[in-house]
Each structure stands twice: as structure tokens, then as C-alpha cells.
Amino acid sequence: MRAARCETHGDPDRIVIREIPDPVAGPAEVLVAIEAASVNYPDVLIAADKYQVTVPTPYTTGSEFAGRIVGVGAEVTDWAPGDAVMGTAFGGAFAEKIAVPQTALSPSPAGLDMVHAAAFNVTYRTAYHSLVTFGAVQPGDWVVVLGAAGGVGTACIDVATRLGAKVIAAVSTPERAEACRALGAVATIAYDDENLKVRIKEITGRGADVIIDPVGGTYSELAIRAIAWGGRYVCVGFAQGEIPKIPMNLVLLKGAILRGFEIRTLANHLPAAVEDGRREIERLVGEGMKPFVSETYTLDEVPLALTRMAERRTTGKIVIDMTRG
């Protein structure tokens, strides 16, 4: 089969397309023919060896996919060939096939094609749990989303709006602001040109109830300075590349709650919340919720897609469409 391989750590242009042996499903594994795979920022970090965990080279890149099952191991009872599924893995998604544990898969949501199913799992689960499980968002809350035009950001706008919150989208360009308003944001802030703290207070009149931050860096403290008393700040990641240092007197004076969210370990710590989230997400999908996919590429174009992600020039989700090219 063909696969996008990282043979030496570095920039995305080092990724190469190789012919490698087909994977074989183990006793508790499922073999999936991948029809689409989405690009996430950790894919860039892992390839550059800048992620929290080092992945030895060579390996197949990509972490999120959708497709159909073509084989199951002897111990698999929940899945059968032909099932439409979406799933996650620590690598291997940018390829024509993947073998994963049966627990890594979920049914592809009814109403979503493979491209949108591939873009759905990580971003929408991240959005839902950062907002609801960790952010305790309520109807009418003011929610500030940093990096709002990215994959997680656009999912947060979508989910928060459907749950009755009022979203302020913090972005870098007018074009991204326009895309966020189209998704439901009631206001936008161009944080390269406007004072984030001042504008949040001007728009809300009292500060943000919930802040979702997948960006980190210099904007985190500014956002927290504009949090309402008792507000919730949820750290989702550090896409800017800098881990912020927050003055703890801000937390004390504002009675703020600071929480960190990582999707990889959620099921280990909060299995009931995972199941509640699954049901609620299914309900929202049934009402028409789906990812904003802005760009699709072929398998041969994986280096270009990762470069686009690395340069932060994208809006919404990027998907590798395996049925093209």
C-alpha cells in the first residue's frame, strides 16, 4: 500500500510517499481501508519531534481517519467487514490502510460523508468536552475562543453556539473573522490589531465566562485578565509554540478556575463523561452539525497539507481525500 512516511524528523517537506507492506490486524485489532484522513496540528509537531512524546522514525504520519472495515481479528466482536467507521491512532492515518485496536474506532456518524467524518472525531470531541465537561458552559454564557479559525476553534464556535452560548472569536486576519461569523460567532477580535483584554470587556460588559485556549503564548494572560469573576479558562494546547506563565494573583482576585484538557487520556479519567458526550454529540450531528472542511488534498500532497497547517494559513479543517488522485 501507499503511505506518507516520516523517515527523518523535521519540516513537513521531508515527508515522502512510499510503497510499504499492508498492515495485518492482530487478534483484537481491526483493518480499515482509509477513505479520508484529517490533518491535526500534533501531526506537524510529531514529525518535527516537538511533541510531548517522541515517535521514532521511520513511521507513517497521520492520526485521524475514516473508512470501511475490511478485516477483523479473531477476538473482535463489535465490528464486521463493511462497517463505516472513524478512528484515531498515534500514527498511520495517512495511508491506504491501517490496523488499530477495536477500541480506537467509533461508528461514522449518520449524515456525514467520509471527508467530514475524518475531520470530526478529534476536533468535535475536543470542542465538546473543553466547553461542557471542563468549561461547564451554560446557555447565555460569553465564550471566548482563541485561534478560533482553526479546526478546534471552528468546532468550538459550532458546539458553543448550538448550546446557546455567545461566542467571541479571536483570530489573526479579517478573512478568518468573516469565516467565524459565518459559523455563528456574535463578535470577533483581531488580536494582532486590537487589545484582546480591552475588547473582551467592551463586548461582554463583564468579562468572559469561558475561555477556550488552544493557542497559548502571549494571548493567554490577556484573555484571563478579561475573565469574569468565577470564569473558567480551559487550556487545550500551545499552537503558538510558547507555554504561557500565568500570574496566579489573577486567579485569586477573579475566583477563576483554570483547567487543562487533553483528549488522549480523557476516557481513562472520566469514562462516564465520554459516554455522555458521545450521546450529546450524536444528537447535535442529527440536527445538522458537521465540521467546516476548507481544503482537501490527495495522499501525494500530504507534505503540502502539513506545510499549510504548520504555517497556520488554514481555516477550519484540512482533509486528505484518499479517493482522489
pLDDT in tens, 194-218: 999 999 999 999 999 999 999 999 8
Same domain, 261 and 129: yes
Same domain, 111 and 164: no
Residue 283 lies in a domain: no
Same domain, 80 and 196: no
Residue 279 lies in a domain: no
Same domain, 21 and 80: yes
Instruction: Report whether the peptide linkage leading into residue 12 is cis, meaning its omega lies within 30 degrees of zero.
Output: no
Q: What CA–CA distance (Å, rounded) separates 182 from 88?
A: 29
Task: Count each helix (H run) and each strand (E run) in the chain, helices first.
Answer: 11, 16
DSSP letter at 300 equals G
Same domain, 144 and 181: yes
Same domain, 105 and 180: no
Q: What pLDDT does residue 25 have?
A: 96
Q: Which of the listed ranges 18-32, 103-117, 283-297 does the model predict with the highest average pLDDT?
A: 18-32
- Which tens digits make up the pLDDT trace of 28-76? 999 999 999 999 988 999 999 988 789 999 999 999 999 999 999 999 9
Same domain, 129 and 239: yes
Range of the domain at 304: 2-120+291-321
- The domain that holds 188 is classified in CATH as 3.40.50.720
Same domain, 105 and 177: no
Residue 38 lies in a domain: yes
- Residue 191: all three cell numbers together: 488580536
Same domain, 151 and 29: no
- Which tens digits make up the pLDDT trace of 132-177? 999 999 999 999 999 999 999 999 999 999 999 999 999 988 889 9
Q: What pLDDT does residue 54 have?
A: 92
Q: Comparing C-alpha atoms, which of 64, 49, 57 is closest to residue 6?
A: 57
Q: What pLDDT does residue 55 have?
A: 93
Residue 301 lies in a domain: yes
Residue 255 lies in a domain: yes
Provide the number of structural domains found in the chain. Answer: 2
Contact yes or no for 80/108 (Cβ under 8 A): no
Same domain, 89 and 137: no
CA–CA distance from 309 to each of 102, 167, 181, 245 (Å)?
Answer: 29, 24, 22, 26
Same domain, 12 and 140: no
Task: Provide the whole-model pTM.
Answer: 0.87
Residue 259 lies in a domain: yes
| Number of Cβ atoms within 10 Å of the Cβ of 258 | 18
Residue 271 lies in a domain: no
